[in-house]
Amino acid sequence: MSSAAEKVDPEKVVLWAGEHEGHDVISTRTFGFWLYILSDGMLFATLFAAYGVLSYAHSYYTGPTPAQFVAPWYTFIQTMALFLSVLAYGFSMTALKHGNRAGVINGLLAASVLGVVFLGLDIHDVLRMFGMHITPWTSGGLSAFYMLTQVHAAHIFFGLIWMLVMIYQVMRKEFTEEVIGRLISLRMFWQFQAVMWVFIYVFVYLWGYMS
Amino acid sequence: MLVNLPGPWNPWLGRLALSEIPYTNPILAPLFVVVVVLGLLMVAGITYYGKWGYLWKEWLTTVDHKKLGIMYIILGLVMLFRGFIDGLMMRTQQAMAVGPHASGMMGAVHGYLTPFHFGQIYSAHGMIMILLAATPLLVGIMNIVIPLQIGARDMAYPYLNALGLWITAAAVVLIMASLFVGDFAHNGWFGYAPIFELAYSPGVGVDYWIWTFQLVALGTTLGSINFIATIVKMRAPGMKWSRLPMFTWASLSANIIALTSFPCLQVAIGLVAADRYLGTHFFTAGFGGNLMLYTNLFWLWGHPEVYFVILPAFGMISEIIPTFSEKPLFGYVTMVLATFAIAGVSWLVWLHHFFTMGMGPYVSTEFSVATMLVGIPTGVKVFNWAFTMYRGRLTYTAAMYWALGALFLLLVGGLTGMMLSIPAINYMVHNSVFVVAHFHMMLLCIVYAIFGSVIYWFPKVFGYTLNEAWGKVMFWLFSAGTALVFIPMFMEGFMGMTRRLDWPFDPHWAPYLNIQVLGILVYVLSILAFVVMLYVSIRDRAQHRAAADAWGTSRSLEWLTASPVPFYNFAVVPQVNARDEVAWRREHGLSAQRASHYDAIHMPNNTGIAIIIGGLTFVLGFALTWRIWWLSLISLLAIIVMMIYRSAKGDPGHVIPAEEVERMDREAERTMPRADLPRHSGGVLGGAIAYDSGAAGEGSANLRGAPDYRP
Ligand code: HEM
Ligand SMILES: [Cu+2]
């Protein structure tokens, strides 16, 4: 409660700030993107919950269970591809700190090639299972399996499109605040998808294999 | 296609066919004609007066948070009306159809609506009221008020703000399209597994429901990111967390809820879509699906959502009451803590929506106790408001009427909620109209707060006050309607009447249903009073020009700048010195101080991309609903291309030179009435001086000689 008893000198009190306190564009943007990541995390959390509920034995409706079809070593290669992709992206960001355009582009290219490898392996795996008639419409449990893994794959797919856009922008534009902000956001996105993949790998592939 | 679709489908039009347009329906066909005629009249009018350019430049492409807010509010009011018409139809149907011998007409055995049509009406009513009326109204008010309260020039991401509006508008158009093309879901606003599966609901109704949900969820999530970032990053110098106005605090907590809970909804509804479009088995009755998984996922969002809508309403009440009590808000810190406590607990109670699932005593107890816990912070808030008024100098303006009315409804709704949170009671009244009456008390509390804040902040946005007398007439009519509709509904609930009956079979309910129809008629009168209020206020606007501080007793920062707010909000960004900055300046005789130096201002440019993407999301939703695959693909690609285009183009913005800002500011100052004269004369003698202020005695608060009304 402000008490009027305290005297305020109208000559001395500061009432106006003016424009000099500009807002930092990059920090505002990355904060907003971080909030988006939070909501994306909730999306995955909900999908994990659905997967957990639909991984009881009866959810597979006497059909195949993950123990019968997941291949942890195969998916381990995927894991490595994604991790290396994140690493390559990291190199690109260190190059950005030095204003090294070629370094940024090379890092992004390497990251996207590794991302494509990840996605290719994923598609190959899905086709392998389809060949064995293990499909999302076999049972509720498999629906959840496919939904969780393929929603993640879809994120990777959109991340790759974004990466291509960024390669183009880095080639054509200066390192403006907007471009740098986008590169940082994409890095958050990419790293977050790798973290989600760790959860998927542990809970879906490893755990599924052992159960 | 992966699923066996019942009925015809062709590659070009999907499931769309001429027979899907209900031109034989005696209610919809005339309505369609009316809508088309009104639409054509509007188009003709705009063309005649040559307003297309104005509309496009000033409104459709705007990124100004105030204009976007106004459009959100108009959208919300239109949908409030649409939802009301649904309510009117349900009330009249039940009153006509009650009892075993009730006659029927227009194809219905009892009453005038067939069960299938009635099911669509209550489903659309619930969805519209919560997601397309209350939510846009609240988002609209947050949009207008938050940047002003924290001393910002605009939202953190003006373009994203426009995008959120146009995606919400797309959802509105989609649900309205379901009236005239095909039909809507009949599974209730929250849906039940497995009735919404393709096998049991083969039409497009559920698909409309799915994509409308997805669009609002997207629009609201984008909005919540924007609000949180704005509050965290865009505050004026000196606006410390300990000085943040209560409405902004409440909005912050509400938007954190929205940001984290809407993804759950997107997944829940997305999995329904997967079942219907891809043939998966998440919620099917066989093949290992799990019916209760859907209900859990839905209410995992659903309960946080109800707090997403009520917390901003609490914030509005917290602004209105101190202003018209001429006292600072009592217990500011406890109010903030209570707000966040409610937001936190709201995540732990979703199971109370289906105690009857039968999860056993331990789980039920946890959720029962957690639900009751919400009552503690809510009680803290109610007492804080009461203590704010205690020994205050109350002015009973129309805005204050609505705020106080909201308190009464909160009490009734909260106490009946407490009853429902006891599993033993809940088993008796679950899915009865008692529950319906409970949550209508809560949602009407929100509507009251919204009407109160529309009256309260109207002068800030438009520069003149709304007509007080008609505002009060509307309040009394609306409250009479509320009492007449919902008191009998509570009683019917105790008499065992279940919700959603197209045919209330027990004749004992008849008197109660008839009283409710009377209540609906009184509601109609209150809508008329609203229209009259708008008309009279616009007609007399010159006499009711508002000062910067429109009420003479306002407290927070938005009342510092001119009314109506210029597009740049503050000519010079203020330095914040106190929690209630405007009250503080008034008490210290600083209200008349003006900045001596102006700076150039950098503002974002308008863009047409947001509305184009919004339109494309509508096309996408419509194409998916009707399974027109080529169109879905094209619109999705077009959205991505537009996003990349915008990202490449960027927005350099534009600069308003300092002299121009100074000129506009002087002009605004000149046309406004003097700020420090108390305007309203009705009620208790109010003044510009806060109740606990000692300033007036020293003569400093009255630089221009306002009369001292202190006792
Ligand atoms: C003190 C706080 C509250 C408590 C203890 C409470 C308790 C409950 C309970 C136990 C139910 C389930 C009844 C049943 O279906 O058997 C319920 C339903 C509901 N409540 Fe509340 N509630 C509270 C506040 C609110 C608020 C603030 C809102 C909205 C703004 C709200 C909106 C609803 C809605 C929409 C439903 C039912 C939705 C439906 O079934 O269609 N409640 N409430
Ligand atoms: Cu609830």
Show the tokens assigned to B230.
Answer: 């704005």
Q: Which of A4, A61, A139 minimises the CB distance to B693?
A: A4
Show the tokens assigned to B342.
Answer: 């409610």
Give every CB contact of residue B677 below 8 A, 6+ residues apart in sequence: B547, B552, B688, B704, B706
Which residue, judged by its Cα, is nearest atom 37 of ligand 1? Answer: B439
Establish if B226 touches chain A: CB-CB under 8 angstroms: yes
Nearest CA-CA distance, residue A175 and chain B, Å: 13
DSSP calls for B432-462: BHHHHHHHHHHHHHHHHHHHHHHHHHHHHHH
Phi, psi of A28 (to 5 degrees): -65, -45
Amino acid at the residue A19: E
Rounded Cα–Cα distance for residues B418 and B232 (Å): 35
**Do residue B645 and residue B685 come from a single domain?**
no
Instruction: Choose which residue among B439, B448, B498, B500 to substitute to test ligand 1 binding: the one with the highest number of ligand atoms within 8 A of its C-beta.
Output: B439
Show the tokens assigned to B394.
Answer: 């109350």
The count of C-alpha atoms lying within 13 angstroms of the C-alpha of B476, restricted to the half-sphere facing its C-beta, is 5
pLDDT at residue B144 above 70? Answer: yes
What DSSP character marks residue A87? H
pLDDT at residue B681 above 90? Answer: no
Report yes or no: B173 and B215 within 8 Å, Cβ to Cβ: no
Residue B238 parent element (H or E): none
pLDDT band at B697 (very low <50, low <70, confident <90, very high): very low
| Ligand 2 center from residue B349 Cα (angstroms) | 6
Is there a contact between B263 and A17 if contact means CB atoms under 8 Å apart? no
pLDDT band at A22 (very low <50, low <70, confident <90, very high): low
Q: Which residue, A151, A137, A129, is CA-closest to B276?
A: A137
Q: Which residues of A touch B583 (CB under 8 A)?
A: 2
pLDDT band at B636 (very low <50, low <70, confident <90, very high): very high
Q: Which residues of A touch B232 (CB under 8 A)?
A: 31
| B524 inside domain | no
| B305 inside domain | no
Establish if A28 touches chain B: CB-CB under 8 angstroms: yes
* pLDDT computed for residue B673 by the predictor: 82
Closest B-chain CA to A9: B588
Closest A-chain CA to B288: A59
Please identify among residues 47-86 of chain A the ones whose CB lies closer than 8 Å to any CB of chain B: 47, 49-50, 53-54, 58-61, 63
Q: What's the pLDDT tens digit per position in B510-530?
A: 999 999 999 999 999 999 999
pLDDT at residue B680 above 70? Answer: no
Helices and strands (H, E) in chain B, number of each type: 21, 2
Helices and strands (H, E) in chain A, number of each type: 7, 0
Q: In chain B, how many domains are there?
A: 2
Report yes or no: B570 and B153 within 8 Å, Cβ to Cβ: yes
Which residue, judged by its Cα, is nearest atom 12 of ligand 1? Answer: B353
Q: Which residues of B touch A3 (CB under 8 A)?
A: 692, 694
Is there a contact between B575 and A139 if contact means CB atoms under 8 Å apart? no
Interior angle at CA B484, CA B480 and CA B489, nearest 5: 145
Q: What's the pLDDT tens digit per position in B237-291?
A: 999 999 999 999 999 999 999 999 999 999 999 999 999 999 999 999 989 999 9
* pLDDT computed for residue A211 by the predictor: 81
| B95 inside domain | no
Structural domain boundaries, residue B685: 681-711
**Helical packing angle, B115-127 and B65-97, nearest 10°:** 150
Which option is the CATH number for A25-55+72-210: 3.40.50.20, 1.20.140.10, 3.40.190.10, 1.20.120.80?
1.20.120.80
Q: Which ligand is nearest to the CA of B129?
A: 1
| B670 inside domain | no
pLDDT band at B32 (very low <50, low <70, confident <90, very high): confident
Rounded Cα–Cα distance for residues B544 and B536 (Å): 11
Is there a contact between B263 and A39 if contact means CB atoms under 8 Å apart? yes
| B31 inside domain | yes
Rounded Cα–Cα distance for residues B511 and B325 (Å): 42
| Ligand 1 center from residue B416 Cα (angstroms) | 9
Q: Which of B274, B279, B644 minimises the CB distance to A165?
A: B644
Q: What's the pLDDT tens digit per position in B65-111?
A: 999 999 999 999 999 999 999 999 999 999 999 999 888 888 899 99
* pLDDT computed for residue B236 by the predictor: 93
Is there a contact between B580 and A165 if contact means CB atoms under 8 Å apart? no
pLDDT over 70 for what percent of chain B? 94
**Do residue B29 and residue B118 come from a single domain?**
yes
* pLDDT computed for residue B35 by the predictor: 86
Instruction: Choose which residue among B438, B441, B443, B450 to substitute to test ligand 1 binding: the one with the highest number of ligand atoms within 8 A of its C-beta.
Output: B438
How many Cβ pairs within 8 Å bridge chains A and B?
A: 174
| B119 inside domain | yes
Q: Which residue, B58, B81, B57, B82, is CA-closest to B70?
A: B58
Show the tokens assigned to B614.
Answer: 């919004």
| Ligand 2 center from residue B352 Cα (angstroms) | 6
Show the tokens assigned to B53.
Answer: 């350019």
Please identify among residues 565-594 of chain B the ones whose CB lies closer than 8 Å to any CB of chain A: 572-575, 577-580, 583-585, 587-590, 593
| B270 inside domain | no
| B262 inside domain | no
- The H-assigned helical ranges of B595-710 are 609-625, 629-649, 658-671
Establish if A11 touches chain B: CB-CB under 8 angstroms: no
Centroid of chain to Cα B57: 26
pLDDT band at A21 (very low <50, low <70, confident <90, very high): low
Report yes or no: B380 and B335 within 8 Å, Cβ to Cβ: yes
What is the total residue count of chain A? 211
Nearest atom in ligand 1 to B189's CA? 41
**Do residue B58 and residue B136 come from a single domain?**
yes
Is there a contact between B229 and A10 if contact means CB atoms under 8 Å apart? no
What sign does the CA torsion over B480, B482, B487, B488 have? Answer: positive
